[in-house]
């Protein structure tokens, strides 16, 4: 049930985001006195509609987005359809700077929505705790959470703490180290973090080693006889290949033992700069991910045949909604909000790509017309007028086919072989 609720809520979040996008176009256009005749949420058959002033508002049967009708968006629209008294209000007759603001208003709403969502997460719901991430990477003092009783001669991935009479007594335990001790140096080399300690142990040969540690505020030293034992080569418990490594028999204190939660909140005021930081990090990561999309298409195709799908392949709104369902099922509301914010950022940026039928394409044409008219005036030539959209239709169709094909591919992959959090 929680999964289904999450899917529905995420899908609703997408629809609301797109509805706000179109509302951005509508309010900006009306602010400049342009003629707006329709604003609908959804597509297909009309469920209901009403008219307020000159605008017809309504809801359609298929909740797959929204649209707004601003009269005179392109030359293909017959101006005769507009009442003579309103012809000066059609879109294309307005100054290019006003048209530009109307066109980019939709993307601006996505950027604002993304920031607001990040802020809600940072202020009230929770965002990834950087202190918890430090534990994961070992970028914390080497405080011991566990001192192993033994070092297994034959590594048991399922029971790494189980001891047998054949195993070696734990070197750290034998030397008197205890949970709560913080190791600060090995053989005189400072180890300010657990990651540096682990690296230092790896580079030290088996045998006696001088260990400096802090206990109850007092610095002490002891000699630990390091041993060599087989461990997974890749560092993960499920790695079947083994290599002999130097072992001390210690385990870092866990975030739970240290009282460090996985997420944290900052409150309304402090949440603002943290939301801005998240915004910048996500935008940078998204830019990098977009450039890798072409290289990920082969993996999407192979995923349809049942091969393993990479977690960093593009996903559709179907896949995003499924992930939204999983986050709710796992009570990870912060991740739900991160996904929704990321989606808004992506849609906002993508919509500004200077290709028809995207808003960015209309912006590019508007300024091309402006510059072409300016250049013609400078050379004393007749204004060439507006761009012939019919001549651009082949390019428009190509863009629709390419992005439509990618959308179909990602939707199919998200149904047959979806990316999951498990």
| Catalytic residue numbers, as ranges | 22
- The answer to whether 31 touches 98, Cβ cutoff 8 Å, is no
Residue in 314, 296, 327, 345 with CA at minimum distance from that of residue 414: 314
Taking the C-alpha atoms of 242, 243, 244 and 246 in order, what is their torsion angle to the nearest 10 degrees? -100
- The answer to whether 102 touches 32, Cβ cutoff 8 Å, is yes
User: In angstroms, rounded to a whole number, what is the distance separating the alpha carbons of residues 357 and 397?
Assistant: 9
- The answer to whether 135 touches 254, Cβ cutoff 8 Å, is yes
Give Cβ neighbours of residue 157 (< 8 Å, ≥ 6 apart).
Answer: 232, 237, 238
CB atoms within 10 A of CB 256: 12
- The answer to whether 118 touches 272, Cβ cutoff 8 Å, is no
User: In angstroms, rounded to a whole number, what is the distance separating the alpha carbons of residues 290 and 115?
Assistant: 20
Give Cβ neighbours of residue 25 (< 8 Å, ≥ 6 apart).
Answer: 68, 70, 102, 103, 105, 106
> Angle 293-304/389-416 helices, nearest 10 degrees?
50
Residue in 63, 74, 72, 65 with CA at minimum distance from that of residue 36: 72
User: In angstroms, rounded to a whole number, what is the distance separating the alpha carbons of residues 360 and 251?
Assistant: 54
Per DSSP, which regions of 72-111 are E strands?
none
**Contacts for 220-226: CB closer than 8 Å, 24+ residues apart:** 222/175, 222/176, 222/177, 223/175, 224/171, 224/172, 224/174, 224/175, 224/177, 224/248, 225/171, 225/174, 225/175, 226/171, 226/201
Give Cβ neighbours of residue 298 (< 8 Å, ≥ 6 apart).
Answer: none
User: In angstroms, rounded to a whole number, what is the distance separating the alpha carbons of residues 89 and 75?
Assistant: 14
Give Cβ neighbours of residue 103 (< 8 Å, ≥ 6 apart).
Answer: 25, 359, 360, 362, 363, 366
């Amino acid at each position: 049930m929680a999964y289904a609720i999450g899917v529905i809520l995420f899908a609703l979040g997408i629809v609301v985001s797109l509805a706000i996008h179109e509302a951005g176009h509508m309010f900006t256009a009306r602010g400049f006195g342009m003629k707006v005749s329709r604003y609908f949420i959804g597509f297909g058959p009309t469920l209901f509609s009403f008219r307020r002033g000159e605008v017809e508002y309504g809801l359609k049967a298929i909740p797959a987005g929204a649209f707004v009708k601003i009269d005179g968006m392109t030359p293909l629209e017959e101006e005769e359809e507009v009442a003579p008294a309103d012809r000066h209000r059609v879109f294309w007759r307005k100054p290019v700077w006003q048209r530009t603001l109307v066109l980019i208003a939709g993307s601006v709403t996505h950027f604002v929505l993304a920031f607001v969502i990040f802020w809600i997460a940072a202020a009230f719901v929770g965002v990834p705790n950087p202190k918890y991430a430090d534990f994961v990477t070992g970028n914390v003092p080497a405080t011991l959470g566990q001192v192993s009783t033994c070092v297994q001669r034959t590594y048991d991935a399922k029971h790494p703490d189980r001891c047998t009479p054949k195993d070696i007594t734990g070197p750290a335990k034998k030397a008197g180290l205890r949970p709560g001790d913080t190791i600060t140096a090995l053989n005189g080399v400072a180890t300010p973090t657990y990651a540096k300690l682990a690296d230092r142990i790896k580079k030290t040969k088996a045998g006696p080693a001088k260990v400096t540690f802090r206990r109850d505020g007092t610095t002490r030293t002891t000699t630990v006889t390091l041993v060599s034992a087989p461990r997974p080569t890749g560092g993960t418990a499920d790695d079947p290949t083994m290599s002999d490594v130097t072992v001390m028999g210690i385990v870092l204190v866990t975030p739970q033992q240290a009282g460090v939660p996985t997420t944290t909140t900052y409150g309304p005021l402090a949440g603002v700069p943290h939301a801005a930081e998240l915004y910048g990090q996500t935008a940078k990561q998204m830019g990098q991910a977009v450039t890798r999309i072409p290289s990920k298409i082969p993996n999407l195709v192979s995923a349809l045949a049942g091969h393993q799908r990479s977690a960093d392949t593009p996903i559709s709104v179907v896949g995003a909604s499924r992930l939204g369902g999983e986050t709710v099922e796992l009570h990870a509301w912060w991740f739900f909000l991160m996904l929704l914010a990321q989606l808004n950022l992506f849609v906002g940026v993508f919509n500004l790509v200077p290709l028809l039928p995207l808003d960015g394409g209309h912006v590019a044409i508007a300024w091309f017309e402006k510059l072409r008219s300016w250049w013609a005036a400078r050379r004393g030539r007749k204004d060439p007028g507006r761009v012939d959209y019919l001549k651009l239709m082949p390019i428009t169709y190509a863009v629709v086919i390419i992005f439509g094909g990618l959308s179909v591919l990602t939707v199919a992959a998200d149904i047959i072989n979806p990316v999951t959090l498990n």
